[in-house]
Amino acid sequence: MTDIPFGPIVTLILFPAVYTPLAAPREIRAVILKRKQWIITALIPIFMSFIFLFLAMFYVTRNTSFSEQIWYGLILILLLIDLSVAIVMSYLFNTYDGLVQQLELEIFSSLKKSGKLNKKSVSDLLELGIKTDSWQIRNLILSSMTRIVEKTCSHAEYRGESLEALLLRLVEVFDADSSGNLQNFSMPADMIRSIIFISKDRELEVRDDIQDSVRSLGGLSQIVIKKAESQPRKVDEIVFRYIDVLDMTATLHLGSLNQVSQVLFEIGIQAISNNLTHIGFIVANKLNMLISRDSLPQKIDKSLIASYSLGIISHLWSDNLSLRAELTKKVDAIIPYTNCPIGEAVDRSMFFFMNIMGFETADKLLAMKVDLLKSKERTHKKK
């Protein structure tokens, strides 16, 4: 037994146990080590290796003249086992493709059993998206998230409040992208559109998932707009797409109208502050269209939508003298829905923003009110 090559044999037997955590990329190592699967996958070849070791020892004691050949044969077998382990585990645990697939299986398994997502697996998937520096990997993760959303919304027990763990952190995935690449930013629009349409088809009330979707689109728009200097056309394309999805949400789910109005206002303010006046103007148009819709339920607060609409117009008003004639028409279009004169309507909007600490908007509304009243007075004198 003294000629047993213990060093190589022990190394080859333990290889599967140490290969995965050491060979895994740093970004996914923490996710791997949380899971038992890699340990189980490693233990199976280790168990097989011990079986071959015992068989080799058994035959060596019976055939001492062939001991050297037996040990070389054992080492060859162990090498083949380790090569197979390396190939399998490299895909399952040491690549993003394999790990994302594994996380999806965990999430879908939980969905099938309980009708709910495995929050731990969702969190791990999101963490991968947040920590990666590659837009290709982020695209892989977002594609997985899209499949998760579609499968969750299609589940028989879906009631519109299952995706909180995913939607609330969706913005973080994009906010972590420092590359300036906007390649992935159109994907959330498709993801959220699925939620909106499926919820409508099932006649579900406006619940957490739709509210979180609207909030996510608002946050994503803020991130995209900040990248306008480097890719202005792409920014326009993405933000317009988000605005269309928000408009669609308000159309199909009237209960979301107040929240959509707020998010549109926030998008418009961010756009104007980044010199994207055209986006602010489109937001003003959308808000005017929202308030002018017929047969809105009584629970919809038209005065709130009017406040947001007048607020965004006031920001456009202060910086764009050439647009004031057109903006005046927009103000005039809003006033009938406020059930009060123009001065009082602007005052109400001003007080609304003061109550929510929107002092800059309140100041701009006051300045716009003065200009509007002076303009009305001049027009009246001419008549």
When pLDDT is cut at 50, 70 and 90, the band that residue 84 belongs to is confident
> What local confidence, expressed as pLDDT, does residue 113 receive?
87
1 vs 293, which has greater pLDDT?
Answer: 293
Q: Nearest-CA neighbor of 282 among 253, 311, 312?
A: 312
Domain assignment of residue 238, yes or no? no
Q: Residue 234: what residue type?
A: K
Strand, coil or helix: what is 296? coil
Whether 105 and 69 share a structural domain: no
- CB neighbour list of residue 256: distance below 8 Å, 6 or more residues apart: 206, 210, 211, 214, 249, 250
Burial grade of 314 (CB within 10 A; 0-12, 13-18, 19 or more): buried
Q: What is the pLDDT of residue 4?
A: 60
224-255 confidence digits (pLDDT tens): 998 887 788 899 999 999 999 999 999 888 88
Mean pLDDT of the 83-90 span: 67
Q: Are residues 70 and 145 in the same domain?
A: no
pLDDT digits (tens, 9 = 90+) for 7-64: 666 666 666 656 655 666 667 766 776 666 656 666 677 677 777 776 666 666 666 5
Q: What is the DSSP letter of 341?
A: -
The CA distances from residue 170 to 30, 177, 188, in Å, are: 20, 12, 8
pLDDT classification of 1: cutoffs 50, 70, 90: very low
Report d(CA 106, CA 350) in Å as an integer. Answer: 51
Q: Is residue 226 part of a domain?
A: no
Number of H helices, E strands in the chain: 18, 0
Of 303, 295, 361, 365, nearest in space to 336 by CA: 303
Of 55, 71, 92, which residue constitutes the final position of a domain?
Answer: 92
Q: Are 232 and 278 in contact (CB under 8 A)?
A: no
Name the residue with higher pLDDT: 64 or 278.
Answer: 278
pLDDT tens by residue, 329-356? 999 999 988 888 888 999 999 999 999 9
Is the same domain home to 62 and 119?
no
Q: Do 341 and 326 lie in a common domain?
A: yes
**CA separation for the pair 259, 246 (Å, rounded):** 10
What is the residue whose two structure tokens read 């797409």? 241
Kindly state whether residues 88 and 119 are assigned to the same domain. no
Domain range enclosing 369: 301-383
Same domain for 81 and 135 = no
pLDDT for 24 equals 63
Same domain, 112 and 134: yes
Q: Closest Cα to residue 169, out of 119, 206, 228?
A: 119
What angle, 0 to 180 degrees and rounded to 10, lies between the N-to-C axes of helices 359-382 and 302-319?
Answer: 80
pLDDT in tens, 22-33: 666 667 766 776
Mean pLDDT of 307-322: 89
For residues 113 and 75, state if they share a domain.
Answer: no
122 assigned to some structural domain: yes
In this structure, is residue 333 part of a structural domain?
yes
Domain boundary among 59, 76, 92: 92
| pLDDT tens track for 151-180 | 998 888 888 888 887 888 888 888 877 666
**What is the C-alpha separation between 225 and 350, in angstroms, rounded?**
26
* 76, 118: one domain: no
Mean pLDDT, rounded, of the chain: 82
Asked whether residue 39 falls in the same domain as residue 61, the answer is yes
Q: Are residues 25 and 46 in the same domain?
A: yes
Does some domain include residue 315? yes
Domain annotation covers residue 285: no
Residue 224 placed within a domain: no
Residue type, 170: L
Give whole-number Cα distances, 288 to 236, 334, 346, in Å.
20, 7, 15
Decide if pLDDT at 136 tops 80.
yes
Report, as an integer, the average pLDDT of 109-126: 88
Q: Indicate the residue type of 197.
A: F
- Give the pLDDT score at 301: 79
| Domain stops at, among 43, 73, 92 | 92
The span from the CA of 11 to the CA of 146, in Å, is 43
Q: Is residue 188 part of a domain?
A: no
Query: Is residue 84 domain-shared with residue 105, that is, in the same domain?
Result: no
- What was the pLDDT predicted at 322? 79
Residue 199: CA count within 13 A, CB half-sphere:
30
* Termini Cα distance of the chain: 117
> How much is the pLDDT for 77?
75
Which one-letter amino acid corresponds to residue 381? K
**Dist. CA 383–CA 379, nearest whole Å:** 7
What pLDDT sits at residue 338?
A: 86
**Count of domains observed in the chain:** 3
DSSP letters along 176-193, please?
T--S---TTTTHHHHHHH
Cα 76 from Cα 86, distance rounded (Å):
15
3-state SS, 243-257, equals HHHHHHHHHHCHHHH
